[in-house]
Amino acid sequence: MALSRAVSPACHPQAVASHVVLASATNVTPLCSSVTRVSVASTSDGEKGFLRFGTHSLRGAGIAGSSRRQVICSAVAPAASTQEYAMYSPKMKELMAFLEKDLPHLFDEQGIDKSMYDEKVNFVDPITKYDNLNGYLFNIQMLRRLFGPIFELHNVKQTGPAEITTRWTMTMTFVLLPWRPQLIFTGTSVMTVNPETGKFNSHVDFWDSINNNDYFSIEGVQDVLRQLQIYKTPDLETPNYRVLKRTAVYEVRKYDQFLVAETPSDQVVGNNGFNEVAGYLFGKNTTGEKMKMTTPVFNQAAGNKSSLQFVLPLNSKLSTVPGPLSENVKLRAVEKSFAAAIKFNGQATEEVIREKESALRTALIKDGLQPEESYLLARYNDPGRTRPFMRRNEVIIWLQNFELGV
């Protein structure tokens, strides 16, 4: 067999400049995308022109100093059998539609349709690796039992011949730890199809939160451990949001609309106006209605102005909530959707807040996002009842024109 270098016309977003194409027979078409790993095909039991598929490390074959750096090459097969899986072919559209319906069942009672996966399917993520269907299914069930994952599929896109890339969010709760930490992973999965069987033979995950996605990634392990941080989030109503993307620094959220009672404040870390807004919730309003306490308490900084905000109960409507008795308290709807948040514990001092806001804004601009000038401090805990190391604090910046790609 000969190894040759070639530039792929269909590249994954995390592509490298080139990849290795394995050629061994005439009329052979490589179906590759130049991402970080390669599924190198090998001759199947001496049959000419038909190759076995699987993800392998690029060792030997004249490649000196090979490491875990790999590239995905979905298949090498006779040209006649690859046309069915060309870009935007009916067969690939059918497989994308299948994934859109099947993947949301990844961790529920129904589960995925295992008949659509080769027995020798290769699964690789930064900290896990299996090379057969039984291992693949075992990993799914293990995660389900330990973490009760919630899987959200955002989009599905063909990114190469016989290659489909999905974008997703997975939220997990580690039930074995008493504080039940929540772990969030977002990223993409590159799934390749075996043209001989029409089934998926490779599934490779890339996490947004780390740079080294090769197996076994120490950075990946560290990312998991960081999320085991002890945060105490009160069991109170809080604005609903979905995490669309989580990086090493921040997470991008999409918020549902919510209402706030707002009053001017002296500074972003101050509590000036707290009693007025709290009084509104606890009955100092036009009907005397006492509302449920919510979380977090927001402090907004916009230029040289600051305000303090309480979130109203989520079923509230501006047309029906009682009016405030204090002229300093205003009610309004927060209708912005996309925001970036950086989470931290401890004391939310002015110095810490400036540091977090600067780190968040710098990271957003570096990643090509458009942060607004104002920002929010979100404090979830009663400081009189929660130790500093257990407090959940966030700096939040609203985003303009955010789009989630694959």
Task: Tell me the CATH number at 331.
Answer: 3.20.80.10
**pLDDT confidence of residue 269:** 82
- Whether residues 215 and 335 fall in one domain: no
**pLDDT confidence of residue 203:** 98
* Residues contacting residue 182 through CB under 8 Å, at least 6 positions apart: 171, 172, 173, 227
- Whether residues 310 and 380 fall in one domain: yes
- What is the number of structural domains in the chain? 3
- Whether residues 249 and 354 fall in one domain: yes
Distance CA 148, CA 64 (A): 43
- Whether residues 246 and 286 fall in one domain: yes
- Whether residues 326 and 285 fall in one domain: yes
**pLDDT confidence of residue 121:** 98
- Whether residues 291 and 324 fall in one domain: yes
Q: Is 251 exposed, middle or buried (0-12, 13-18, 19+ CB in 10 A)?
A: buried
Domain end position, chosen among 31, 55, 84: 84
Q: Which domain range does residue 328 map to?
A: 229-406
Domain end position, chosen among 194, 226, 258: 226
**pLDDT confidence of residue 58:** 37
- Whether residues 241 and 384 fall in one domain: yes
CATH assignment of the domain containing 103: 3.10.450.50
- Whether residues 295 and 404 fall in one domain: yes
- Whether residues 171 and 161 fall in one domain: yes
Look at the pTM and tell me if it is higher than 0.85.
Answer: no
- Whether residues 353 and 368 fall in one domain: yes
- Whether residues 199 and 259 fall in one domain: no
**pLDDT confidence of residue 79:** 52
**Which residues in the chain show pLDDT less than 70?**
1-81
- Whether residues 79 and 91 fall in one domain: no
Domain end position, chosen among 84, 114, 144: 84
Contacts of range 136-141, beta carbons closer than 8 Å, 24 or more positions apart: 136/203, 140/106, 140/107, 140/111, 140/112
Give the torsion through C-alpha atoms of 125, 128, 131, 136, to 10 deg. -90
CB 261 within 8 A of CB 310: yes
Please tell me whether residue 289 adopts helix, strand or coil conformation: coil
**pLDDT confidence of residue 187:** 99
